[in-house]
Amino acid sequence: MKKDILTTLKEPELTDNALFVLKKRYLKDGETTKDLFWRVARNIAQVDMKYKNHVGNTAIEFYNIMASLEFLPNSPTLLNAGRGLQQLSACFVLPIEDSLDSLFTTLKNAVNIQSAGGGTGFNFSRIRPAGDFVGNIPNTAAGPIHYIETYDTALNRIMQGRKRHGANIGILNIDHPNILDFIELKSTDGRLKNFNISVGVTDEFMKRVLEKKNHVLVNPRNKDITKRISAEQLFNKMAENAWKTGDPGIIFLDAIQRANPTPKLADIEATNPCGEQPLLSYESCNLGSINLAKMVKCNKSCTIDWEKLKSTVYTAVHFLDNVIDVNKYPLIEIEKMTLGNRKIGLGVMGFADMLFKLGIAYNSKQGEKTAEKVMKFVSQQAILSSQELAKDRGVFPNFHQSIYKTKRRNATTTTIAPTGSISIIAGCSSGIEPIFSLVTEAMVLFDRDHKGSRMVMINRHFEEELKKQGLFSKELMTEVAEKGGIQHLDLPSKLKEAFVTSHDVSPEWHVKIQAAFQKYTDNAVSKTVNFPNNATVEDVKKVYILAWKLGCKGTTIYRDGSKSEQTLFKGGNNDQKN
């Protein structure tokens, strides 16, 4: 029966790079890409039996949007759906209290989550500072940094032999007494291989930076003020270290909390490792992304196919809601919280490719308006889809403790993820990022020693447009590979306006595009603000302030060449260092 169905299904059209990633990371022995998408589709569709829907039709619908590369779920779903493990969520947040029991229980739980392919977020701000009292004994407490390093060492050990690395984020709030040491935690290259770090920043702190006022550091054990420090000095230190190494990132805690759909349950204190998914403690979320490059129709000119986008959103929301029910959760507490809120995170990828097709510059008012228009539409349709599901399936159980008045199935519906691996499978640009280079070397498939394989990727929309205009040549491609972009080449101005790369886009435009998507995203937006190697610390500070003012929920910057390891390189120019 399975073979009969498979013969009628569309064959996935995948690039060589996509096949390489799938074979190395996702396919089990003897499995084809067609088998993979059908395995996932059939497994997720079985939930429809609970609601007396036709499972076979749903499975085919799910298969088609994946095989056509119009939508892909997060990696754990592709890896584990229909297999024994059945752990399908990408994002988890675990609580950390100021006790050894809490610290090591959470570490044990993180090991279980990571061994199943999930990423974990932690806020270490409740831990008393280093050198504080333990009982009546002074100068005894190890402090949060010690435990972050303990977590990093322990979680690194469980990655041996696995196909996919787990990921972590450690957050420390701006008022913690050990915040200066935390800011410099990754100033030594190679330290904390398995942790991103971010500072949890408040609106009050940012105002004090701008007003050049002092900021207080507070012991979380007894709420005593331990120090008064210049807010500007602390802010400068954050920018200096981010300029140097890319860490720490910033999370804007108040912006996240203002968007908390269930504030009566608890405050949100942490996010997943890439920052796009704020979650309550013991909460998890499954993500998926629509390929915007597939949402464009072209005749004499190209326009956005709104009907196709609407249909894809509805199917994707249905898919992601099903994932919640068929998922196997690593802890009872996670199952209870996740089923209580039923958060999903539908996002987009291929935004830069969409703009290429439309002939719109990423770093332009039109590019910004397109970002807003697309995400507003995706958000509206996702909410409508969630409301339709609620009519048949009921509201999420914590609905009556939420901010909503209209019944809906899911506490959140939208998230913009980085889509590193799934965008390679889809053959599109990652997330909402501009392309890094028109000819890119991507470092993928890191092993436990953090060694990886490189793949060369040429943007096909650029190649197609050159051929269309009769400009394509191997010599030109070699020159583009050496420079990474075309802004200094003798090519038509309209071509150069449309085909910009991340380093052609000013940091301010990176933030404006992030803010445009954030405006219509329930959760948060994963976005890196790329800086050229010669950028200054002042440039970084300006971006932090702009991101806060525009309502972003966090920001991450990366100055080209500031780390010995990076995942993307401009073709022929991969040896920059600070």
Residues identified as active-site: 272, 274, 276
Cis peptide bond prior to 397, omega within 30° of 0:
no
User: Reduced to 3 states, what is the DSSP secondary structure of residue 183?
Assistant: helix
Closest of 16, 109, 6 to residue 60, by C-alpha: 6
Please give the Cα distance from 274 to 297 (Å, whole number): 32
Strands (E), 277-433: 278-279, 284-291, 296-298, 302-304, 344-349
Structure tokens at 220: 């979380």
- Strands 71-73 and 284-291 turn out to be antiparallel
Q: Phi/psi of residue 291, each to 5°?
A: -85, 100
Closest of 86, 65, 67, 83 to residue 18, by C-alpha: 67
Please give the Cα distance from 203 to 111 (Å, whole number): 34
Element (DSSP H or E) covering residue 463: helix 460-468
* 203-210 helix and 231-245 helix, angle to the nearest 10 degrees: 100
What residues form DSSP beta bridges with 25? Answer: none
What residues form DSSP beta bridges with 218? Answer: 225
Cα–Cα–Cα angle for 180, 181, 185, nearest 5°? 120
Please give the Cα distance from 54 to 38 (Å, whole number): 16
Strands (E), 481-567: 528-531, 554-559
Closest of 267, 334, 337 to residue 106, by C-alpha: 334
Please give the Cα distance from 164 to 250 (Å, whole number): 26
